[in-house]
């Protein structure tokens, strides 16, 4: 079981984490609210998304 641990002045507080979506809709746009991996290859991610969109456009 995964637990969140918070150190407090009078002891330690343990809690089962609640899963929350990292994506939220803000004015019609989906925004990621989570944290990114350390050393993420953002240029590669953008290239992959562009290639995927181009393939989808070509198949229509």
Specify the pLDDT at position 19: 75
DSSP lists the bridge partners of residue 30 as: 25
Alpha-carbon Rg for the chain, nearest whole angstrom, is 19
- Tokens for 40, please give them: 């993420």
Q: Can you give the pLDDT at residue 60?
A: 56
pTM: 0.40
Residues in the chain: 60
What per-residue confidence (pLDDT) applies to 59?
67
Residue 7 three-state SS: strand
Q: Give residue-wise pLDDT tens across range 7-60.
A: 999 999 999 887 777 888 999 999 988 787 788 888 998 999 999 999 999 865
Q: Which residue has the tokens 């989906």?
A: 30
């Amino acid at each position: 079981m995964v637990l969140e641990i918070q150190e407090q002045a009078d002891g330690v507080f343990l809690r089962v984490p609640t899963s929350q979506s990292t994506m939220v809709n803000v004015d019609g746009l989906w925004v990621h609210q989570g944290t990114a991996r350390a050393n993420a290859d953002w240029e590669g991610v953008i290239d992959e998304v562009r290639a995927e969109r181009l393939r989808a456009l070509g198949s229509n």
